Amino acid sequence: MTLALIAGTGQMPKVVAEAQEIPPLVCMLEGNAPDGLVPDVTFRLETLGSLLVDLGTRGVTDVCFVGGIARPELDPGALDAETAPLVPLFQQALKQGDDGALRIVLDIFEKTGFAVRGVEDLVPALLAEGGVYSQAWPDAQMRRDAEVGAEHIALEGARDIGQACVVAGGRVIGMEDAAGTDALIARMADRSNDARAILFKAPKPGQERRIDLPTIGPDTVEAAAKAGFAGIVIDAGDVLVLNRAQCVELADRHGLVLWARTGD
């Protein structure tokens, strides 16, 4: 296997790269620089066709999409000859929700001959194992709220509306949108201090696991603690945990519940 990372923002691309025995080729979509990782190749949406050709020339066989990528704008005037035939697919993707757009991108890479690998395949240890990680344990209300969150994600996620919600007192008080989990936590800060609110995060129904699998990390724990949340609940086996030891240390420092739930 010769691996290329299609890397976006955040720490995850560096973690995945450093976990490989053979350093992968790091390809960055312009404007989406990963933390602490210098890209070997920088490309634009308008030059994706040339990137595919370049990857083939370099002998790349497998690709992994990792990190956050802001939905790009398409500049018709910047298209190169290799990318122009892909424009109808781009236009279709840009009109769809996140899941639909990502599936079109995956299809482009697979039809070109590349095997698309998920982060959980390349670094299995990042996938959440079931159990309560923190010293603080979920009480009966938090367990009920976790059920409410799971049901809500199953309902709203089927409409491609996000992977996280905030639950307090048996009802959903906030839902993730295109702005992401950090923005959701920030919006809920004023409503969470006295409500023992939890952040619940899980994949949407039919989630494409090779790309955009839900993720939490130390920044998530810090943000939840600052916002006054009582806990973070994730689906075991379905969510990536970045730097688990630091997440647990922060949760314990702030008295936060950190629980990987083994539900349906």
- Supply the pLDDT for residue 209: 86
Q: Are residues 159 and 77 in the same domain?
A: no
Instruction: Using the 3D structure, point to which of 122, 152, 174 is the last residue of a domain.
Output: 122
14 and 69 fall within a common domain: yes
| Domain match, 143 and 245 both | yes
> What does the pLDDT look like over 10-60, one tens digit per residue?
999 999 999 999 999 999 999 999 999 999 999 998 999 999 999 999 999
Of 64, 99, 122, which closes a domain?
A: 122
pTM for this model (two decimals): 0.89
- For the domain that residue 182 is a member of, what is the CATH number? 3.40.140.80
CATH number at residue 20: 3.40.50.20
Q: What is the mean pLDDT of residues 135-159?
A: 92
Q: How far apart, in whole angstroms, are the C-alpha atoms of residue 137 and residue 117?
A: 35
Task: Report yes or no: 65 and 34 within 8 Å, Cβ to Cβ.
Answer: no
What percentage of the chain carries pLDDT values higher than 90?
70
- Six-digit token string for 260: 């990987």
Give per-residue pLDDT as tens, 156-184.
876 767 899 999 999 999 999 878 899 99
Q: How is residue 99 annotated by DSSP?
A: H
**Residue pair 149/170 in contact by the 8 Å Cβ criterion:** no
Residue-wise pLDDT for 232-255, tens only, equals: 999 999 999 999 999 999 999 999
**Strand partners for 244:** none
Residues 194 and 82 occupy one common structural domain: no
For residue 7, the enclosing domain spans: 3-122
Confidence band for 193, pLDDT divided at 50, 70 and 90: low
Residues 21 and 108 in one domain: yes
Tell whether 76 and 195 lie within a shared domain.
no
pLDDT value at position 100? 64
Interhelix angle 181-192/218-226, nearest 10 degrees: 20
- Out of 122, 152, 171, a domain closes at 122
Specify whether 133 is located in the same domain as 172.
yes
Domain count, the chain: 2
Exposed e or buried b per residue across 220-244, where buried means at least 16 C-beta atoms within 10 angstroms of its C-beta: bbbbbbebbbbbbbbbbebbbbbbb
